[in-house]
């Protein structure tokens, strides 16, 4: 004969199990938001717990009919606390940050799109471009090129798309384009329009508003892009972003001393930023990385040590602004040394070369020669990782 207390425990367990099943049926009858995330089950759990909480406030249904439901009530409370602890511990994980970015984009589309700003227009030119994009009407170089010429730096766009279309041949079946300094979204939208996944960063809120609204106007492109309206650096810190009064979207980050004020003729402070590290957001292989942050490139790369150490970056295009980089407190030669150290060979022409010959300890010399030859201290470097061997281009 079985122990009576043992039998009683079994009966109590079955009763509790039945109550859990009934509660689950009730909750499943509620309409929950559609989720597009690897965390779908986890987020659904949170929604269910919230539904329970709402029900408790409205009717106290967990305890109103039967005081024996208190174990279930405690279960819900404990699970809710555990979930909140999980969120706190994982709030900086890439999955949660990407989910948050996607949700922010959806909220923007529902609340703030279309933009109604005096100096903004939605550019459409089906003969040259098969998507629409928000641009500044005046006082912005990128926007003026798009309005007058139908595009911006089209040679770079062509190079990006050509190398991305070869991604499977070079071992990347699902390539990602990382756009650091996305401005109003020109490069990101071109790449996404061609069917590739994109992660974009830009520090300026005004650029972010134009970019987000452009994505709202192009849902298929929006599905391919994850946009973070954030500035990047080597550590989390607070700085300002400035831009020229005749080039509004071309932001430059300045990190001042506590008692220092920014004064420069022709420039205005646009906003104060809380900068973050790229490593906190991107934890995956990147097929093609483009970075153009007006002289702040070296600082951003210092915040990407994990990316270059533990993941594969096959191609990289970076702007080099000799004067701007020195103005940010960094040495362009040391930046070139960083690229070489991480296995890149670079060209001013294209990803296929010809590649610049850098001599150890004299990395600044080839850069200075480029300035002399081109009569410009701003130029792009197209870099390929040495482990990627070209056999077709």
Tell me if 70 is assigned to some domain.
yes
Q: Say if residue 266's pLDDT is above 60.
A: yes
Section 47-66 average pLDDT: 38
- C-alpha distance across the termini of the chain, in Å: 81
- In angstroms, the CA 182 to CA 249 distance is 10
Q: What is the pLDDT of residue 67?
A: 42
Q: Of 149, 224, 222, which is closest to residue 135 (Cα–Cα)?
A: 149
Could you tell me if 129 and 58 lie in one domain?
no
Could you tell me if 347 and 377 lie in one domain?
yes
Could you tell me if 80 and 146 lie in one domain?
no
The least confident of 53-57, 125-129, 229-233 is 53-57
Could you tell me if 108 and 85 lie in one domain?
no
Tell me if 242 is assigned to some domain.
no
Could you tell me if 82 and 193 lie in one domain?
no
Could you tell me if 176 and 223 lie in one domain?
yes
Q: What is the pLDDT of residue 391?
A: 82
- In angstroms, the CA 152 to CA 145 distance is 6
**pLDDT per residue over 138-185, tens digit each?**
999 999 999 999 999 999 999 999 999 999 999 999 999 999 999 999
Q: What is the pLDDT of residue 7?
A: 56
Could you tell me if 113 and 137 lie in one domain?
yes
Could you tell me if 57 and 116 lie in one domain?
no
Q: Of 226, 192, 181, which is closest to residue 319 (Cα–Cα)?
A: 181
Could you tell me if 161 and 290 lie in one domain?
yes
Tell me if 356 is assigned to some domain.
yes
Residue 60 — pLDDT band, cuts 50, 70, 90? very low
Out of 30, 54, 89, pick the residue that ends a domain. Answer: 89
245, 309, 323, 359, 389 from 341: Cα distances, Å: 38, 11, 23, 12, 18
87, 97, 100, 159, 305 from 92: Cα distances, Å: 9, 6, 11, 33, 17
Q: What is the pLDDT of residue 81?
A: 57
Could you tell me if 285 and 308 lie in one domain?
yes
Out of 89, 116, 149, pick the residue that ends a domain. Answer: 89
Tokens encoding 391: 């056999």
Q: Say if residue 260's pLDDT is above 90.
A: no
Percentage of the chain lying above the pLDDT 90 cut = 73
Supply the mean pLDDT for the chain.
84
Tell me if 266 is assigned to some domain.
no
Cβ atoms 282, 178 nearer than 8 A = yes
- Dihedral, CA atoms, 89, 95, 97, 98, nearest 10 degrees? -170
Tell me if 4 is assigned to some domain.
no
Tell me if 164 is assigned to some domain.
yes
Could you tell me if 354 and 308 lie in one domain?
yes
Could you tell me if 341 and 379 lie in one domain?
yes
Helices within the chain (DSSP H only): 4-28, 40-59, 70-89, 94-111, 141-149, 154-165, 186-193, 205-217, 219-222, 297-302, 305-310, 322-327, 332-341, 364-374
The least confident of 60-64, 295-299, 331-335 is 60-64
| Of 80 and 193, the one with more pLDDT | 193
Q: Does residue 154 have a cis peptide bond before it, meaning omega lies within 30 degrees of 0?
A: no
Assign 95 to helix, strand or coil. Answer: helix
**pLDDT per residue over 72-122, tens digit each?**
444 444 445 544 544 444 444 567 999 999 999 999 999 999 998 999 999
Residue 137 — pLDDT band, cuts 50, 70, 90? very high
Q: What is the pLDDT of residue 262?
A: 92
Q: What is the pLDDT of residue 390?
A: 84
Tokens encoding 130: 């098969």
347, 352, 363, 369, 378 from 373: Cα distances, Å: 14, 21, 17, 6, 12
Tell me if 248 is assigned to some domain.
no
- In angstroms, the CA 384 to CA 134 distance is 32
**pLDDT per residue over 232-256, tens digit each?**
999 999 999 999 999 999 999 999 9
Residue 38 — pLDDT band, cuts 50, 70, 90? very low
Tell me if 1 is assigned to some domain.
no
Domain membership of residue 60 as a residue range: 10-21+38-89
Q: Determine which helix (DSSP H) or strand (DSSP E) holds 254, and give its type and residue range.
A: strand 247-254
CATH of the domain at 295: 3.40.50.150
Query: How many domains is the chain partitioned into structurally?
Result: 2
Q: How many CB atoms lie within 10 A of CB 358?
A: 19
Q: Say if residue 197's pLDDT is above 60.
A: yes
Section 337-341 average pLDDT: 98
**pTM score, two decimals?**
0.77
């Amino acid at each position: 004969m079985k122990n009576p207390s043992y039998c009683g425990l079994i009966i109590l367990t079955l009763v509790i199990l039945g109550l859990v099943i009934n509660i689950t049926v009730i909750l499943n009858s509620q309409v929950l938001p559609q989720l597009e995330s690897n965390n779908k089950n986890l987020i659904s759990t949170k929604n269910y717990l919230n539904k329970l909480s709402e029900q408790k406030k409205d009717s106290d249904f967990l305890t109103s009919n039967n005081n024996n439901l208190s174990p279930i009530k405690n279960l819900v409370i404990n699970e809710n606390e555990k979930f909140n602890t999980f969120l706190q511990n994982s709030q900086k994980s890439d999955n949660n940050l990407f989910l948050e970015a996607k949700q922010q984009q959806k909220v923007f589309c529902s609340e703030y799109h279309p933009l109604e700003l005096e100096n903004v227009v939605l550019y459409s030119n089906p003969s040259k471009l098969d998507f629409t994009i928000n641009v500044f009407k005046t006082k912005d170089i990128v926007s003026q090129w798009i309005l007058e010429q139908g595009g911006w730096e089209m040679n770079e766009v062509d190079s990006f798309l050509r190398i991305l279309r070869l991604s499977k041949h070079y071992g990347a079946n699902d390539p990602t384009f990382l756009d650091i300094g996305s401005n109003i979204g020109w490069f990101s939208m071109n790449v996404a329009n061609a069917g590739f996944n994109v992660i974009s960063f830009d520090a300026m809120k005004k650029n972010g508003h134009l970019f987000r609204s452009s994505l709202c106007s192009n849902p298929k492109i929006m599905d391919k892009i994850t946009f973070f309206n954030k500035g990047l650096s080597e550590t989390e810190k607070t700085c300002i972003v400035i831009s020229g009064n005749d080039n509004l979207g071309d932001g430059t980050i300045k990190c001042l001393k506590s008692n220092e004020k920014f004064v420069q003729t022709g420039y205005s402070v646009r906003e104060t930023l809380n900068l973050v590290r790229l490593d906190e957001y991107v934890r995956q292989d990147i097929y093609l990385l483009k970075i153009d942050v007006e002289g702040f490139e070296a600082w951003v790369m210092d915040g990407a040590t994990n990316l270059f150490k533990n993941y594969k970056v096959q191609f990289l295009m970076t702007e080099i602004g000799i004067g701007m980089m020195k103005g940010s407190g960094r040495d362009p030669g040391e930046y070139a040394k960083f690229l070489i150290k991480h296995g890149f060979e670079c060209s001013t022409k294209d990803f296929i070369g010809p590649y610049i010959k850098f001599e150890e300890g004299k990395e600044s010399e080839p850069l200075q020669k480029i300035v002399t030859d081109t009569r410009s201290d701003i130029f792009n470097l197209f870099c390929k990782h040495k482990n990627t061997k070209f056999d077709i281009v």
